[in-house]
Amino acid sequence: MLVVVSIFVVIAGLSFPPLSRFYTSQQVIDSRSQVAEAIRTAQARSMAQIHGMSHGVFVEEHRFTLFQGPSFANRSTTLDTVFSVAESLNLSTTFPDNQVLFLRGEQIPQATGTVMISHINGRADQVEVLENGRVE
């Protein structure tokens, strides 16, 4: 019985690092997908002129907000959709004022830039918004 338990402990110990790396990787991938989808949603809402307003995404350290208005500072807060990421992840951006903004009726962003998603263990990925409005 002791041998069986010992073998189980060794196998479990050897399995932990690969499973941990997979989980970390999946957190980054999932958050990247959420950020990209929020940016595409802001772009689509702007093109469709929903509520006759501009739309954007504001990026903070552990969350991002899909908003409606001329800027994050002057938005309609009742229409915000806030997305949180795991505490082990950090979000940062090269966009001016930390916001990706699409003017009403436009597919092209006001500025190009990148949103970086990084895990405390070093794994990272990014979402890039190009001049033509493409979100990669």
Q: Using the predicted structure, report yes or no on whether residue 97 has a pLDDT greater than 50.
A: yes
Q: What mean pLDDT is predicted for residues 69-96? A: 96
Q: What mean pLDDT is predicted for residues 4-10? A: 52
Query: What is the rounded average pLDDT for all residues in the chain?
Result: 89
Short-list 101, 100, 106, 111, CA closest to 49 = 106
Please give the pLDDT value at position 14: 47
DSSP 101: E
Please give the pLDDT value at position 5: 55
Q: What mean pLDDT is predicted for residues 96-102? A: 97
Please give the pLDDT value at position 25: 82
What percent of the chain has pLDDT above 90? 79
Short-list 83, 106, 100, 93, CA closest to 135 = 100
pLDDT tens digit string along 36-82? Answer: 999 999 999 999 999 999 999 999 999 999 999 999 999 999 999 99
Beta strands, E only, 1-136: 55-59, 63-68, 81-84, 89-93, 99-102, 113-119, 124-129
Distance CA 71, CA 57 (A): 9
Place of tokens 């959709």: 81
Domains and CATH numbers, the chain: 2-129 (3.55.40.10)
Please give the pLDDT value at position 107: 95
